[in-house]
Chains A and B, each alone.
Chain A
């Protein structure tokens, strides 16, 4: 791709060459480690390729057929999408809520910002370990709280109905601070004058929020939503540490399954087929943004 374009640009001004030269280093890495693997996955997904085999063996769509015939596959896809739904809206809402709370000039705002943001700098492994304690049966913090209020302790990680929501809570706790930052920047870019003018005009806070803040946050929203959507699919560390997919794969999500097929079962063909499916999913989720981004590029 790059080469073909380069040949064409030789006919044009030196400027084009310069542009490509400047782009080259970054492009080099992105082509090798993002674009090429996508194509390679597509190819390998059509092969049988396992540990111990010297060469992959072309088998057409058999991997996909195996997947689509396996009820576990549908369970995993359901888990992944359900988890996405359980986290995207709450994390965005929390992010926005937190941003609104700290977008004021009161004392202690620094403390609060730190308190909300710090989970972001904790490694997922640490987060998973801590929350594993919180959710531990009977002795964990959560069950202890239930007992204090006279309720029966729930072994949340053992119950297929509660395991995903439990992980979602943990995830929102971690991500909200990250999304808060972006919302905060968006909020603070809404000029003070606009806010003051609206308030002076007698706008009530809720109206203020709906008619002024939300629309002006539009671009931020789009940006944050893309991050939120794609980030929630990439969670695998916590599954590895906390549940290993238990109970009976109720908490197995697509990326964890990809990792399992690739690095525990060493079935690269199947793992690649799953990767292709995941890529398709990501594309679908990100398409709205791409389209609007595309429009903006052309209008720029």
Chain B
């Protein structure tokens, strides 16, 4: 008995001690690792001289595992190969929401990531709270090269980087919403598979033809974070002069214009009046699955899903511009690179170098290829990589063609809260708790209350 007790107590003590030792060890003091810590199996990299290299932490939100994380790892490894005195440590931090939370907690822990990717729409928050720093000085320091660098980015994406005239972020994983449609289903319903709907009226007509017991014509996702994206599209298609849901300075919103009410009503009609859309809330992540299963004939979804759908579709599929009303329009979305403020100048320079590397023409092209995100720079479209990609997967080109008509998604101060307000109210309308007008009026009032302090 005594022996057992002694053993038990020794084990306990041992566990406590070793546990405390391992638990207390902060990340930084661990010996410089060659392989960056990441989700996917790390690629082999050349090891820099231990202790000499500057280590940058890089938080990124992408889909998990699969090729995306591996490409990130590869980019980081390639960068270090070219710049042996800088090691970039990529850390996968979940989806966009989780990443913002993580960044915030890292900052309060006194350990901000040096460079991170976050939604382009977060830039007002990033600027006003001081989480990220403006990049103009860095661009200016690069002189002519800097100007050319910025000019090479597609305007539709670069527009999203300005706060009060200053550039806060660099486009990286950008997407836009497109219409995916099932060509086989079209043929079955007597529609021309090469002629997708281009207007709202055509959408209704096609949807009606396609809807039967096993299949609905149209699908739009409605969970938090998705509803407002789709709604931006409808709003832009219908608004006077194409104004967006918000002002450029991020301080005002225009939710309840008559045109927007019409747009929301159209959405509701798809479900309630024409009955070509499933009722209730569809999750963003379920929609492609339903499309692939042939349960929905046309879906509004991100071009970022191109690779997935291309690989898994057992039928011929096409992509098209979102059907327009007064005009053709679509929302852009996705994430940009930011540099944290409050880090040393040496780190800032290193981070800037890394960003330029990750967004250079070749890397941006490869990134687009493997994920379905739209390449962010004009020069990418001259590369063989992209040219071949579009030849092989012509559906991917639609997103690029639609870009001149695309505008940024809802971006304001306190973006997260404003999104939630709009999403909740759209949900209320969709489940029948409010009319389109009531929902948008409510959203407008709530949003104005939140934005009041920024006026």
Q: Which residues of A contact B (CB under 8 A)?
A: 51-52, 136-139, 155, 157-160, 244-249, 260, 263-266
Contacts and interface: CB of A to CB of B under 8 A. Distances in A.
6 contacts: A139-B293, A246-B281, A246-B427, A248-B431, A264-B417, A265-B420
A158 B431 contact: yes
A137 B416 CA distance: 27
Interface in B412-450: 414, 416-417, 420, 424-425, 427-428, 430-431, 433
A138 B416 CA distance: 31
A136 B286 contact: yes
A155 B101 contact: no
A140 to B, nearest CB: 10
Contact of B129 (A51, A136, A138, A155): A51
Interface residues of B, number: 32
B191 interface: no
B114 interface: no
A158 B279 contact: yes
Interface string B76-111: 000000000000000000000100110011000000
Contacts, number: 65
Nearest to B414: A265
Contact of A52 (B130, B280, B428): B130
B307 interface: no
Given A51-B129, A248-B427, A248-B428, A158 B104 contact: no
B133 interface: no
Nearest to B107: A51
B97 to A, nearest CB: 7
Contacts of B279: 155, 158
Interface of A, secondary structure class, is loop
A244 B424 CA distance: 10
B427 A247 contact: yes
B74 interface: no
A13 B224 CA distance: 62
Interface in B271-303: 278-282, 286, 293, 295
Nearest to A264: B416
Contacts of B310: none
B447 to A, nearest CB: 13
Interface in B299-350: none
Given A137-B280, A264-B416, A266-B104, A52 B431 contact: no
Contacts of B428: 247-248
A281 to B, nearest CB: 23
Contacts of A248: 424-425, 427-428, 431, 433
**Most B-side CB within 10 Å, residue of A51, A260, A265:** A51
Q: Lowest 8 CB-CB distances: which A-B pairs, in order?
A: A158-B280, A52-B129, A248-B428, A158-B281, A248-B427, A155-B280, A244-B224, A247-B431
Contacts of A52: 128-131
B32 interface: no
Contacts of A247: 280-281, 427-428, 430-431
Contacts of B131: 52
Contact of A263 (B101, B286, B414): B101
A160 B224 contact: no
Given A136-B286, A264-B416, A265-B417, A244 B223 contact: yes
B295 A138 contact: yes
**Most A-side CB within 10 Å, residue of B278, B281, B286, B416:** B281
Contacts of B416: 264-265
A164 to B, nearest CB: 14
Contact of A159 (B128, B222, B280, B293): B280
Contacts of B425: 248
Contacts of B223: 244, 246
A212 B427 CA distance: 52
Contacts of B104: 51, 263, 266
Interface in B208-232: 222-224
B340 to A, nearest CB: 14
Contacts of B129: 51-52, 266
A242 B101 CA distance: 19
A2 B349 CA distance: 51
Nearest to A266: B104
Contacts of A139: 293
A247 B420 CA distance: 12
Contacts of A155: 278-281
A74 to B, nearest CB: 15
A139 B431 CA distance: 20
A217 B280 CA distance: 45
A200 B224 CA distance: 63
Interface in B126-141: 128-131
A243 B431 CA distance: 14
A244 B226 CA distance: 12
B277 to A, nearest CB: 12
B258 to A, nearest CB: 23
A199 to B, nearest CB: 41
A162 to B, nearest CB: 10
Contacts of B424: 245, 248-249
A51 B428 CA distance: 29
B215 to A, nearest CB: 11
Given A51-B125, A155-B280, A264-B100, 13 more contacts: A52-B128, A52-B130, A158-B279, A158-B281, A244-B224, A245-B224, A246-B223, A247-B427, A247-B431, A248-B431, A264-B417, A265-B416, A266-B104
A139 B278 CA distance: 13
A160 B431 contact: yes
A139 B223 CA distance: 18
**Most B-side CB within 10 Å, residue of A137, A138, A139, A246:** A246
B431 A159 contact: yes
Contacts of B417: 264-265
A137 B278 CA distance: 10
A129 B46 CA distance: 40
B281 A264 contact: no
Nearest to A54: B130
A64 B269 CA distance: 39
B97 A264 contact: yes
A260 B423 CA distance: 15
Nearest to B419: A264
A138 B281 CA distance: 12
A266 B128 CA distance: 13
A138 B295 CA distance: 10
Interface in B374-419: 414, 416-417
A68 B416 CA distance: 22
A3 to B, nearest CB: 27
A52 B131 CA distance: 8
